[in-house]
Chain A
Amino acid sequence: MQALLQVFQNEWLGLYRNKLLIGSFLLLVFILSLTAWMGVKKQDQLQVQTKTANDFARNEWESIGPMNPHSAAHEGTYAYYSPGLMSSLDEGVLSQVGRVLRLEGHVQNEMAYSARSQESIYSRFGGLMPSLLLQWVVPLLLIFLSFRSIYQEKEQGRITLLLSQGLGIKQILVGKALAYFSIACIALLSTVLVQFIFLEFNHSNDVFRLIGFVISYLLFYWLIVSLTIVLSTVLKNATGALSSMLAIWVLWMVLLPKWTASIASEKYPLPSRFEFKQAMKDDRSKGIDGHNPSKDRVNKLRDSVLAKYGVSSDSALPINLDGIVMQADEEYGNLVWDKHIGGVFQSFSSQKKLSQWASVFNPMYALKSASMSFAGTDMLHHIHFQREAEEYRRGFIKKLNDEHAYGGSKTGDWSWKSSEEFFKNIETFQYTTVEISKYKSYWQVDLLILLVWSISISVLMCLISKKYLL
């Protein structure tokens, strides 16, 4: 242990003497902290914007005045997606997907108005979020810091000197790796510290997310450091080690994610928008339509309602049959939506799983996936919002249809109006970020892959040490 600490200290001392490296490192920590702070500010901005929009939608809903419930269902309302606190670290898919969902009768809309549809491409790799620097720049810094670490010792013949001082080869390698790893830890912790200072972590869910986020990055940084040291040990010169690590970096960061995406999209294809709409339309037309009821289905429903109330005509019913028919149509439409959008969501899920297992070859993907997952900005969190909003829409429209059916109007009376009070009493849509445990089957795979990679490279580092250094 003492020997390990000695190597660690020596390595730090060596780094400290290199003013350029220290300057670059301090600059990076400063930029990371600044970026984290900007992420926090952006998150605040998103929260305020979403709250304003939700207040606006609620205000619009509450001010519709006395109205026919079915007209109110067409009037509808809106749900706005606000990502959780941790989105200040990694914006994930936020720019790609819409954050506005219109909730209305007869139809399930999709999220609209994505940032990307409103602006030019400013950056191909997203905004300056901490995740961008932590995923792209910090690993590069680690590569540049450590690619000569062993080669230099070999070149200057210091390995023998260190061994003669009683140090073991494994201790030299691990000690050096730990020194570079500690630099990554400082960079990561400076980012996390800013989050702790400026964000209010009131919920254990956010703390767990932050811990998961930190663990996944630490595993990846250890992997990068140890892999660079392995190459620095194995290859004949430092340029080879640097070139190889840069090639691996480009492969992991740029090429493999795109190839994986292509393969996953081909293996689990999504329907085109045209096919999707057509299939929904076909299935829906098999059922009953609230406005244009298919005679047989409506007659059956009508007969059962007439029998229930013991009357022989619609006009004799004490309730409004139209409301019941529309609710039946809604429920049928819900089944159709569940079937088709469920299929799409299933494809997303299969694509994600395939990509995750592909990260057996590309741990960078596992890191990206875990990072988005813990930040609550991956596709699964986005889908969760859509599902919650759809649940709300179903309850919302049912209330309106029930009011139409049982609120006091008679069948065929479309001019009847519900009171303003009734509309005000319909609760608003509330959304809180899902518990991180819900998607554990996904992020556990990411963490497992990162862990296996880190352990494997560490073992490799220890195994090769004697062969190449003695």
Chain B
Amino acid sequence: MTLFQTLKNETLHIAKSKFKVIALILFFAATLYSVWQGYVVYQYRTDQISLVQKSATESQQEVLGWFKNGKSGPEERPWIDIKNPFWAMWYGNHYVIYDNHPLMVLSPGQVSDVGIYKKVSVWSTPFDQDLIPELSNAEFQVSGFFDFSFVWLFLLPLLLIILMYNIQSFEKDAGLLLLIKSQAGETNSWWLKRVLVIGITLSLWLIIVMIVPRIFMGSSFVLGNEWIEFLFFSMVYLWGWLGLYALILSRNSSQISQAIQMITIWILLVLVIPATVQQWIQMRYPASLMTEWQEVEEKRDSIYAISYDSVKAKLLSENKDLGTTKIGMLDSISDPMKKGAAYRSLYKMYIDSSSEVFLQSMEQKNSAFQSYAFINPVMWFQNRLNYLSKSDLSAILEFRRKIRVKSNSITTKLIFDEWNEVVVDSVQFKKYLEL
């Protein structure tokens, strides 16, 4: 039997089985719906980012208006002097935005576990309390989004069971195998071709579905290297399951036996093994209540108890250029704001090194999980797709790192400008905005 004949026969076979037809239609509908759901999530995030950016721009324009009209700040806060670098930076409204990658439409991953943006100031850290996700019902989140990666990684194997559980076994149960053998020569290539037909059909569907976001999003959904990689891993996943189920078919059991074996493998790979790995890792590395971080923050008082001379000496040892600033060259100062800048910078240095330690410990935990990939392949694929759509833990850590970097650059710029007694004007303010 040629592949074309098998394709024709298999199509007829599926078309005659109402159950398979309904399952296929449901699956196709579910994939399209899941892409739409992903798009809703992506668009929501895009809208929120636009709102925040618009609000920040409006605030910045208001400050520029103060410069233009010779005002020192908001009328109800007379102590604010916008020409002072500290207040100018404070009113700069700096934000760090989580990279909203277009592939999130297909795999939103863990993006709902952290905030979309974070207002960053000199005091900000990657572990601030306000770095919390959008308001959502946690009971609904327990099973995650109905996104494309969910449908493909978890429901596709179930569809394959429906399509494949009676391949060869039906003929065996009905005593038709000998007839097949007489027509096809031998049965192995016959059922393998049938599996191949299912694989090719679903591969084509995968390509179609992965192009669909282009309809909603236009050119912002780029069919570039990451898209190809996403397609590649999704394809490998499909053929991996086909191969696994083909191994069961090769054992030539009854329909019920094949169905039970297939569903058992699904339960093991999709449910039991990932859940066991999660339980094991969570018991080995329990989610932190961040008391160590709170301890780090509490050190602020001890830093503020150090003498100014010691603080200055430590700052100069870390950044020699500070010695060339106007204040850096003075032996003593009395201005509490300029002294405050020194203490603030030292505290920032201390908290910055600690935050990196915390970020690395999260990465270590993630590495521990990666080492279980060989027994937990489904979740490896899940995290691989999330990695490509910038919605995995590494993207979250990257977001946290960006907060750290931005806050550091604000702090560094501030101490130099405060110690050089810079008087901020609109030009200087615009430079602050570029940080």
Contact = CB atoms under 8 A, between A and B. Distances in A.
Interface of A: 38, 41-42, 45-46, 49-50, 52-53, 56-57, 60, 78, 80, 92-93, 95-100, 102, 109-129, 132, 136-137, 140, 144, 148, 238-239, 242-243, 246-247, 250, 254-255, 257-259, 261-262, 264-265, 270-274, 276, 278, 292, 294, 344, 348, 351-352, 355, 369, 372, 378-379, 382
Contact of A378 (B77, B139, B267): B139
Interface stretch (B182-190, B226-234, B362-370): B362-370
B19 interface: yes
B366 A41 contact: no
A93 B141 contact: yes
Contacts of A136: 267, 271
Contact of A270 (B136, B154, B370, B376): B136
B317 interface: no
Contacts, number: 223
B267 A114 contact: no
A383 to B, nearest CB: 10
15 contacts: A57-B294, A93-B138, A95-B287, A119-B281, A119-B365, A119-B366, A124-B382, A125-B143, A126-B142, A132-B275, A137-B271, A261-B143, A262-B146, A272-B51, A273-B133
B160 to A, nearest CB: 13
For chain B, what secondary structure do more than half of its interface residues adopt (helix, strand, loop), or is it mixed? helix
A102 B129 contact: yes
B55 to A, nearest CB: 8
Contact of B137 (A128, A257, A379): A379
B164 interface: no
Contacts of A132: 271, 275
B110 A41 contact: no
Contact of A239 (B153, B256, B281, B392): B256
Most central of A112, A247, A276 by chain B CB within 10 Å: A112
The 4 closest A-B CB pairs, nearest first, are A115-B287, A123-B274, A122-B278, A93-B138
Interface of B: 19, 23, 30, 37, 44, 48, 51-52, 55, 76-77, 109-110, 113-116, 127, 129-146, 150, 153-155, 158, 162, 166, 255-256, 259-260, 263, 267, 270-272, 274-279, 281-283, 285-291, 294-295, 298, 362, 365-366, 369-370, 376, 379, 382-383, 386, 392-393, 396
A41 B137 contact: no
A100 B365 CA distance: 20
B140 A351 contact: yes
Given A122-B379, A124-B382, A344-B135, A109 B52 contact: no
B257 to A, nearest CB: 10
A274 B133 CA distance: 11
Given A78-B294, A97-B138, A121 B282 contact: no
B139 A120 contact: no
B137 A271 contact: no
Most central of B260, B275, B285, B392 by chain A CB within 10 Å: B275
A187 to B, nearest CB: 15
Given A127-B278, A132-B275, A274-B51, A121 B136 contact: no
B347 to A, nearest CB: 15
B355 to A, nearest CB: 14
B19 A121 contact: no
A258 B145 CA distance: 7
Most central of A120, A137, A238, A379 by chain B CB within 10 Å: A120
